[in-house]
Structure 1
């Protein structure tokens, strides 16, 4: 038995070491890609001037910076409300304050620990500890994410539809419209597949991790059967993205960009948000800035200002997620003690 236990521990240690090595290599690769994208962007620009990255500060600059940060924090609260509405629709009973703790801890992980899905995994794990329902907790996080993929393309297409000039910009218009269209197409295919009854019967008979996929299938079914709850999810999703558009507008003002109105923000910023989550760069660095240069250049925005705006948006996201540090360190332990005391354990 000792030999078997020793072999098991050795195998587990080996798997952990391999996983750690793979994760480190992934981080190094993504950092390298981000650096490469920045060098490519600078090389591609005809007359890049690093001095223009720093805006001319004036009396209004602190106002716009503080406004952008406050709106980013408000956006985090709205995103938690979106997740809460999904959880309620799926029958999960959990307090909004607790979900905010889990959401911010997950956001901190996503921003400070270079991983694509680590924050979502943490949210799923902590919500499962709260509710005892792993499949529905899994579904709540994924459906909360998917609701954003409905709203972002709609904003882009609506912004383009409202302004004839934006529809005639050439490459920026084509890229934004294509990004929105492909996102809606991918979302539709996912919902058709996972929401299919035959698919549901197939995964319902499986064990292990597949039962979580079945939880997503059941979650889609439950949202279909509850149009009022689904409506609340979409309302909070639109509110969240509207707040983030306002934060982007403040960030633009902070770096000296004055020509972006609500329609321009609506048409192009959601497309930037979609592009930046492609899992090839660290925190979207390089992707976001390149997309902003593409979309804003023909609107009269200096390329260096577009890059500065992208970097500021990244740092605002990082700063806003600092709230998640104490919830990451202490939140899980606190809520576990509360759960044990309520259940007499």
Structure 2
């Protein structure tokens, strides 16, 4: 009973963060301008962006499946990924969806350390991809913009965490639990360390998934631009490549429900120096949130329509006695 209480408390704190961010947005910005921005969007455009967004998540599920070394059927990985999207509707932040996705994969795979390493590795690769894109946008802008220090700081933090997670954690975990074997969860920690070490020994796979992640995020940026232009947001594409990843990285902080309110305000602040109008950026950002929520609802529908449950992988068949004797 204590765990649901803690989860509810975290949800309430993040809901309060989103509510506060949205309240500040609608307090300081003209509500009429934001609402008028919505009226400029057409349903065909909105639905086409939603369809492309869902295809991007099929590619994202593929990336995660590859990091798991294709240890479960692709259809199972796809269902688990869309179940994670559905969980984002009610769980705080992307980490909640990641936990659901990993939990469903574990039901099928029965290898918690491998699933955990793939889940954390996937998230870190995405963050590194975002950092690379925001630095690329900054380079294309010629260093313009007042957030260069924040961009370099966030990117450096992301790169540092990724290196620590993929390459330093295995050695540190083995050293700590080797020196103090009485520490709790020794077996689990060492198995997770082995899984991370195995992933770190595949630089080709890491590089491929990083390029794939950057490509997916680039398409998402382009979709955001297509959604924002009819609303009235007209800034250089390089500014989007600088601002959009920054806003998404900030939105991963555990202070809101999936970045609601935080992503929109951050994106408006970053695009403002390049000639964007804050109410129009917020309007396009809230439309993007609508895409996210609809994708989650579709993920729930996919899970229910495909049976809703996940079967564990069958245990390996015993080896024949003749093979064992050899």
TM (norm. structure 1) is 0.81
Q: Which runs of 5+ in 1 are unaligned?
A: 1-15
- Residue 296 of structure 2 corresponds to which residue in structure 1? 321
- Residue 4 of structure 1 corresponds to which residue in structure 2? none
* More displaced stretch, 48-57 vs 308-317: 48-57
Structure 1 segment 153-172 matched on structure 2, within 5 A: 153-164=131-142, 167-170=143-146, 172=147
1: distance between equivalents of 2:46 and 2:90? 22
* SS state at 2:255 partner: coil
- Name the structure with the higher helix share: 1
Structure 1 segment 188-227 matched on structure 2, within 5 A: 188-196=163-171, 198-203=172-177, 209-227=185-203
Matched, 1:253 2:229: yes
Matched, 1:289 2:259: no
- Residue 122 of structure 1 corresponds to which residue in structure 2? 100
Matched, 1:87 2:87: no
Report deviation, 1:291: 0.5
- Residue 37 of structure 2 corresponds to which residue in structure 1? 55
- Residue 8 of structure 1 corresponds to which residue in structure 2? none
1: distance between equivalents of 2:38 and 2:286? 16
Structure 1 segment 24-39 matched on structure 2, within 5 A: 24-39=8-23
Moved over 6 A (4+): none
Q: 1:175 aligns with which of 150, 153, 157?
A: 150
8 Å contact kept, 1:203–1:211 = no
Report deviation, 1:328: 4.2
Q: 1:305 aligns with which of 271, 280, 285?
A: 280
8 Å contact kept, 1:105–1:324 = yes
Structure 1 segment 98-117 matched on structure 2, within 5 A: 98-114=76-92, 117=95
Name the Cα RMSD after superposition.
2.8
2: distance between equivalents of 1:208 and 1:321? 37
8 Å contact kept, 1:78–1:239 = no
Deviations 1:9-60 (A, max 9, x none): xxxxxxx1x33233223222222222222233444x4xx21111122756x8
* SS state at 2:37 partner: coil
Q: 1:238 aligns with which of 210, 214, 226?
A: 214
Q: Closer, same or farther in 2 for the Cα pair 1:287/1:334, shift >3 Å?
A: closer
TM (norm. structure 2) is 0.85
8 Å contact kept, 1:102–1:327 = no
- Residue 265 of structure 1 corresponds to which residue in structure 2? 240
Q: Closer, same or farther in 2 for the Cα pair 1:79/1:295, shift >3 Å?
A: same
Deviations 1:256-307 (A, max 9, x none): 223342x222111111110011111122122111101211111111110111
8 Å contact kept, 1:106–1:328 = no
